[in-house]
Amino acid sequence: MIGVSEYVDLPEWGILRLRAKIDTGARTSALHVENIRELPGGRVRFDVRLSRNQRDRRVTVEATIVRRGQVRPSSGELQTRIFVAIVVRIGPVAREIELSLVDRGRMIFRMLLGRRALAGAFLIDPSRRFVLREPGRVAATPALPGPTAARKPARPKLPPESNLVPVRPRRTRPRIG
């Protein structure tokens, strides 16, 4: 079970606890990057900015281009994007996904996880956030599966009704003007 936002790890790139938005309306996943430079041999180099507020918190990454694809973002206009493959860890689940490299500078979340990355591994509770790791708390990180480990995780089981936690409705401010 996960919420609408979770912390994720990209261990191959040394990135831990990156806030990601869970978006079942998006087919593919996206990562905010800057300074994209294509290199010879089908590779790409880019900077991953880890924080909206701290510009100097960044990691420079070099990866193999998996494909180029057309994506229709919320603006409605088709964009051609570069996709790379990376192992992403969401709580105890680690799996290889494709990420499109895009400028999400105006967005709150540096990363968006789409349906392909989530399929078959998670149930999403839209009323909760950071279910797997509470903000400010570091959970133990399990080891990545080895080459002989099964890639397809087991389907999650829905918790019994007695284990469900009631969620208080959020207070809303009255609209002015």
Determine contact, residues 36/82, Cβ cutoff 8 Å: yes
- Measured CA to CA in angstroms, residue 81 lies from 1, 56, 99 at distances of 30, 25, 10
Buried b (16+ CB within 10 A) or exposed e, 1-22: bbebbbbbbbeebebeebbbbb
- pLDDT tens-digit profile of 10-69? 999 999 988 899 988 888 899 989 999 999 999 999 998 877 777 778 899 999 999 998
For the chain, which domains are there?
5-118 (2.40.70.10)
111-113 vs 15-22, strand pairing mode: parallel
pTM of the model: 0.68
> How many CA atoms lie within 13 Å of 97's alpha carbon, on the beta-carbon side?
28
Model confidence pLDDT, tens digit, residues 58-111: 899 999 999 998 887 766 778 888 999 999 998 888 999 999 998 876 777 888
